[in-house]
Amino acid sequence: MICLFYCTIAIGQEDAWVYFTDKPNASTYLNNPASILSQRAIDRRQKQNITLDTRDAPIEQAYYDAIKNTSGISVMAKSKWLNAIHVRGSEAAIGDLMNTFSFVTSIDFANKLLNNRASNQQQQANHLNKLAVQQDFNYGNATNQIEMLKGDYLHLQDFTGEGMIIAVLDAGFPNVNTLGAFQRLRDNNKILGGYNFVERSTNFYTRNSHGTHVLSDIGGYIEGQFVGTAPDASFYLFITEDHQRENPLEESLWVEAAERADSLGVDVMNTSLGYSTFDDSSYNYSYADMNGQTTFITRGAEAAASKGMLLVNSAGNSGNSAWFYITAPADAASILTVGAVNASRNLASFSSRGPTSDNRIKPDVMAQGSSSAIVNYISGVPVGASGTSFSSPIMAGAVACLWQAFPNKTASEIIEAVKMSGDRAETPDNNYGYGIPDLEVAFTRLTEENDIALSDVKIYPNPVGSQLTFTFTNSLAEYYIELYNVLGKKVRTYANLTTNTVDVSGFSKGIYILKMMYQDEYKTFKLIKR
């Protein structure tokens, strides 16, 4: 059965991405955002001033159906963000789609030679970091990896991931539904759901154990023995990686999962995966493709970041190989790429290096990935394992706790604060990036930023009759005001204000909550209207 499957894929079958010209019904969806996004996803966009665009609308169903019903074509995945579907079929059948359907704008074969982009460069093996593993909280075995980042400082401030939603995109999550290390998550309904994109199944507690180990570094908890970096966060678990084979379809499944995560209102995504070589070498990427804009998965990652999610990705485990570079999507400019150090803060030799082929610094930051503590998926006890697969989730959970402390900051602002707190921030390089973050420093930096603009703002008179006046010592270019009634319903927005007075004469007597916003900071007041 398995042999037959392999033979079917190998003989005469190609993978390709088929791109569509437009989304003729996009306006219908954009005029009704709740039909395509959860309220939490809508709120996340509003907080970061991200407007909906046509990428948020689903693929045109008629286009999808037409391709699906084409003889010799199998539709394997789809992406609304890239307005594309992943198909499998013969080269001829796929190529005919351009001539058959006017709504097909381009076709990109995974085999680069079929796109007339000859590449005779010898590519070195660079298999995923996904499976290259070596086997106040009492952190137990996890003490060093948390304290290295000052994650314990955030926990002491009561920022443990509560209210944050993290999606883990990986190869499988067996025994997460039974292991004691995840009992705390289960008892508190912190596992919100998931999906097995590889098998198109709702059973995500299956397949490879890699995802279970990764999840333990974020949400695991064993009293006195082990604590993840965000033990009170909530999680969606998505299987996108087929550990039995390496095929470009996995990139498309990842993008599908990222789109699902976005629609569900996810804040942070962790991906301990990377792609450059495949079972069919004609699909392989070259180092030149690691430029932040070529591979399908990297373009999907940029789209995900543009929606306000914070993406954390492992750098890869190729530091000791002929190809020692990062792999896709770690080359994406807008995500946080994490390399690995050992317990003594020295570079782990296996950690993939930069720069990207367009000469950007990567990785961005470092965390412990050599002899990291994880929870074994069979025994349920803490063990040691190595790989950037683990430095990434250790960082992802810690960053989620930092964002919890500053919910009105954008994802990019949180990433910037994390990078600038690194121990090599003044002299970043392509081995360590900006170094090992000190999240206490990042916390202080963000606190000071919050205090600058709105710290001295006052309102008067209060109670107010018809005109409300603001006083502030700092110069504010444009600011916004929102008024809420006692039931929490927004009753008025004043946008792009440049003066310090506001007319409130039209409001009924009563108590209101006034929220003043400047850039990504806010301050609230209780206002009495007489």
What's the CATH class of domain 143-448? alpha beta
pLDDT of 125 over the 50 cut: no
pTM attached to this predicted model: 0.80
Pairwise CA distance, residues 209 & 360, whole Å: 33
The SS3 assignment for 420 reads helix
Torsional class of 48: left (φ above 0), alpha (ψ -120 to 50), beta (otherwise): alpha
pLDDT tens track for 378-424 = 999 999 999 999 999 999 999 999 999 998 889 999 999 999 999 99
Q: Which residues of 151-162 are buried (b: 16+ CB within 10 A; e: fewer)?
A: bbbbbeeebbbb
Whole-number Cα distances in Å, 121 to 124, 286, 288:
10, 8, 10
Active-site residue (options: 210, 280, 351, 364): 210
Give the domain ranges of the chain: 143-448, 458-529
Q: 2.40.50.140, 3.40.50.150, 2.60.40.3080, 3.40.50.12780: which CATH number matches 458-529?
A: 2.60.40.3080
pLDDT tens track for 78-117 = 999 999 999 999 999 999 999 999 999 999 999 988 986 3
Q: In 287-335, at which residue ranges do the beta strands (DSSP E only) sit? A: 310-314
pLDDT of 126 over the 80 cut: no
Cβ atoms within 10 Å, residue 192: 16
pLDDT of 468 over the 50 cut: yes
Q: Are 204 and 239 in contact (CB under 8 A)?
A: yes
Q: Are 295 and 285 in contact (CB under 8 A)?
A: yes
Active-site residue (options: 352, 389, 391, 392): 389
Counting Cα atoms < 13 Å in the Cβ hemisphere of 72 gives 12
**What is the DSSP secondary structure assignment for residue 163, as one 8-state letter?**
T
Across the chain, what does the average pLDDT equal? 90
What's residue 527's pLDDT? 86
pLDDT of 321 over the 70 cut: yes
DSSP 68-92: HTSTTEEEEEEETTTTEEEEEE-HH
Q: Are 198 and 241 in contact (CB under 8 A)?
A: yes
Pairwise CA distance, residues 117 & 115, whole Å: 5
pLDDT tens track for 273-305 = 999 999 999 999 999 999 999 999 999 999 999
pLDDT of 10 over the 60 cut: no
The SS3 assignment for 444 reads helix
Whole-number Cα distances in Å, 225 to 142, 220, 229, 375, 435:
8, 10, 14, 10, 28
pLDDT of 344 over the 50 cut: yes
Helix axes 439-454, 411-420, angle to 10 degrees: 120
Lowest mean pLDDT among 133-147, 241-255, 310-324: 133-147
| Cis bond before residue 329 (omega within 30° of 0) | yes
Q: What is the average per-residue pLDDT within 471-486?
A: 74
pLDDT tens track for 234-268 = 999 999 999 999 999 999 999 999 999 999 999 99
Using only C-alpha atoms, the chain has a radius of gyration, in whole angstroms, of 25
pLDDT of 526 over the 70 cut: yes
Q: Which residues contact 264 (CB under 8 A, 6 or more apart)?
A: 38, 40, 41, 165, 167, 192, 193, 236
Active-site residue (options: 15, 96, 170, 232): 170
Output the CA torsion sign for 92, 94, 99, 100.
Answer: positive
Q: What is the average per-residue pLDDT within 503-516?
A: 86
What's residue 454's pLDDT? 63
Minimal CA–CA distance to 54: which of 29, 20, 75?
29
What's residue 452's pLDDT? 53
170 flagged as catalytic: yes
Whole-number Cα distances in Å, 510 to 314, 463, 504, 506:
53, 10, 12, 12
What's residue 475's pLDDT? 58
Pairwise CA distance, residues 58 & 36, whole Å: 8
Percent of the chain with pLDDT over 70: 91
Bridge partners (DSSP) listed for residue 88 = 15, 74
pLDDT of 186 over the 80 cut: yes
Q: Are 341 and 369 in contact (CB under 8 A)?
A: yes
Q: Are 324 and 287 in contact (CB under 8 A)?
A: no
